[in-house]
Structure 1
């Protein structure tokens, strides 16, 4: 057993307990107890003590929607890429990248991403992968990286008709093989879902094939209504709005994650709520792709389980929190909105979503929960209380304030030093792989 204490502790449980000098007792991979530092040190005198040095002790962040394959897009110039709309962004940038990704690129991208997650205090990642240059084994490559870096992860492969039937079937097989592998894993560190790109690149026949092949108990992870063209496609081809089409195909449900959902109406929201389907908001991506602002506040009002993700833009969940906060104020032209909804998505809904997949709680400091704990180096210049913790995080912190990251009871970073990870070696290898990928992309254009 060891203790992590001497910090301002936020449990994020149903009581949202705040302790001015709190401590977490960790036994194996679980939290044994949470309490005052002095009390737990007296109770467990033989336990090793880790000093938070007055920082903020809280649960590790959960990213509900990420794209590991986007890691090597940073700084990339693709010859001829000058998109003027979302479909051109997809075709000229993201689909161009994923069509060139080999297993070695996927693995290196995962190494870079999981390292960055540890440094930003992200302990659980829901990822949506695409690598049409080499499909078979790609999710296993990501899972191997997650195992090496010790990050809890939920993976899927992006099924699409865009590159033909053969690759569509290969993508389905990769999902099925990985889901079955994950279902046999007893560590509860890796999970699998049936990933799909978006309705406009998926025929009804493909959706039926996916449903027939999906292993029992697995959920779906799909982008929905990210752009207006997705809606137009559904109305034109199927005479249905998107959520009704997906519902009719049996895709919605309590283990289904729908990313974005910008162009859905109230009737669709009611359908999402009635089927207990989950939604993930990705503010920076939506703004960067100029696709619009989703009706997040209305979905929240309707009781839809909506969480927060990054869509590959960043691995800093506090950055995503900041952007979502100002986006919805700006969109509503009301400075008094989004104060409660956005942190609830990040700190409450993301853990509720994770609870549908993991055997024990994550995203909370409570006895019996997995020991996914972080420390932020933050000294408040104004009083910090249970009632204003979120404001302190919003205006006073970002991911680089994280100095200690513990995942599943294992210390992965302490005092801003990675444990058991040669950061420079990882990044050097990533630079080599990225340069090779960039060369291959531009040689073929």
Structure 2
């Protein structure tokens, strides 16, 4: 038994959204009680107690679009890299990096990402992987890191024809093998999808190959209309818009996750809505790549299940929360925009998205829900109550304020110290591998 108490409890349970002084009791992998600290300590006198010291106790974060393979890109300078748009960013930076990754690089990239996720209070990750230098076994290396660090993960490999038909086939088979493996896993911590890069790098032949090797239980994870070039390619080569092409290949559906969706029109939104397909918004990446601002507020208003991700740009969901909040205000010239929509995406919709792949109830502190809980070192200057929780978080909290992270009932970090792994040793290995990767890239 474990109790996290003496804190302000933000439950995300509409029946009892906030407790000024409360606690969460955990039995094994699930929450067994939420209530006043004194009551829970009396009810479970032998439980281990972690003191929140007046901080905020809340559900751990879910990241619905991550790129683990990008971990070693921070500070990486590639000779001759001078991008002018999304395509040159992809070719010059990301595809250059992923073609040079070894399986060990993939494993260490995952360890680095998961460590940073834990330190930012993220316990569930939907990753979209690429390592065309070492495809076979790459998802299993990420799974190894996920199990070592304790992070719940839904994994896929981004299928693409960009490096030829043989590697496209190999990437499809990597997905298929991992999906079959994940479907047999009974831990509740691993899931798989059929990953795809984007329609402009995938031929009809490869689309058909992916469909033929995808089990019915899962969907696709694909970038959609991230850049205007993707739309132009689809119109030129197929005479249709992107979502129409995906519809023709039966890619849309309740288990499919579309990343970005910047250049889509109302007709495509209708298709996404009618097929109950999921969308994930990645504000910082879109801004950093100068791709444009997606119609995310309209997607939410239309009832499309839209979540919030980081696209590897950061592992701090609070950072993405802050940026999404101001991006849409700025883009729409409306100071009232995003106040409700973005918190809904982060705190409600991400949990609903995760619920389509994991049986445990995530994103809420209530009896029977998964024991994914964090403590945030935040003692508000102004009154805090159930009506202003999100205002406190967006203006007062960053991911680095997380001091304790619990996932699946296991304490992964306590008082900012990781409990399950030797962080110093892992990061030393990561630094060495990142330096060697940079040398390989710039020596070619």
Query: Once the two structures are superposed, what CA deviation does each residue of 1:7-63 show, in whole Å capped at 9, x if it has no partner?
Result: 000111243610011111100011111111122122222222211111100000000
Query: Once the two structures are superposed, what CA deviation does each residue of 1:311-350 show, in whole Å capped at 9, x if it has no partner?
Result: 0000000000000001000000111110000010000000
Query: Once the two structures are superposed, what CA deviation does each residue of 1:115-162 show, in whole Å capped at 9, x if it has no partner?
Result: 000000000000000000000000000000000000111100000010
Query: Once the two structures are superposed, what CA deviation does each residue of 1:81-123 show, in whole Å capped at 9, x if it has no partner?
Result: 0001110000000000001111011011001000000000000
| Corresponding residue for residue 174 of structure 1 | 174
Q: Secondary structure of 1:404's partner?
A: strand
| Corresponding residue for residue 155 of structure 1 | 155
TM-score by length of 1: 0.99
| Corresponding residue for residue 294 of structure 2 | 294
| Corresponding residue for residue 328 of structure 1 | 328
Alignment of 1:423 with 2:423, yes or no, is yes
**Equivalents in 2 of 1:13, 1:259: separation in Å?**
28
| Corresponding residue for residue 346 of structure 1 | 346
| Corresponding residue for residue 411 of structure 2 | 411
Query: Once the two structures are superposed, what CA deviation does each residue of 1:362-404 show, in whole Å capped at 9, x if it has no partner?
Result: 1111111110000000010000111111111101110010000
**Equivalents in 2 of 1:13, 1:182: separation in Å?**
30
**Equivalents in 1 of 2:86, 2:47: separation in Å?**
54
Q: Secondary structure of 2:87's partner?
A: helix
Q: Secondary structure of 2:216's partner?
A: coil
Of residues 286-295 and 12-21 in structure 1, the stretch that sits farther from structure 2 once superposed is 12-21
Alignment of 1:110 with 2:106, yes or no, is no
Conserved? CA contact 2:148–2:421, under 8 Å: no
Alignment of 1:206 with 2:238, yes or no, is no
Query: Once the two structures are superposed, what CA deviation does each residue of 1:238-282 show, in whole Å capped at 9, x if it has no partner?
Result: 111111110111000000000000000011101100000000000
| Corresponding residue for residue 100 of structure 2 | 100
Conserved? CA contact 2:100–2:440, under 8 Å: yes
**Equivalents in 2 of 1:101, 1:109: separation in Å?**
10
**Equivalents in 1 of 2:182, 2:6: separation in Å?**
37
Alignment of 1:376 with 2:376, yes or no, is yes
Conserved? CA contact 2:110–2:142, under 8 Å: yes
Q: Secondary structure of 2:381's partner?
A: coil
| Corresponding residue for residue 141 of structure 1 | 141
| Corresponding residue for residue 385 of structure 1 | 385
Residues 16, 241 of structure 1: CA spacing in aligned structure 2 closer, same or farther, 3 A cutoff? farther
- Deviation, 1:419, is 0.4
1:42-441 pair list within 5 angstroms: 42-441=42-441
Query: Once the two structures are superposed, what CA deviation does each residue of 1:212-238 show, in whole Å capped at 9, x if it has no partner?
Result: 111220111000000001111111111
Q: Secondary structure of 1:129's partner?
A: coil
Alignment of 1:6 with 2:6, yes or no, is yes
Residues 16, 234 of structure 1: CA spacing in aligned structure 2 closer, same or farther, 3 A cutoff? farther
Number of aligned residues: 444
Conserved? CA contact 2:373–2:406, under 8 Å: yes
| Corresponding residue for residue 24 of structure 2 | 24
Q: Secondary structure of 1:359's partner?
A: coil
Q: Secondary structure of 1:157's partner?
A: coil
Q: Secondary structure of 1:208's partner?
A: helix
Query: Once the two structures are superposed, what CA deviation does each residue of 1:160-212 show, in whole Å capped at 9, x if it has no partner?
Result: 01000000000001000100111111101011100000010111121111111
**Equivalents in 1 of 2:52, 2:317: separation in Å?**
21
**Equivalents in 1 of 2:255, 2:14: separation in Å?**
22
CA RMSD of aligned residues (A): 0.8
Which stretches of structure 1, 4 residues or more, deviate above 3 A after TM superposition? none
**Equivalents in 2 of 1:13, 1:352: separation in Å?**
14
**Equivalents in 1 of 2:164, 2:14: separation in Å?**
48
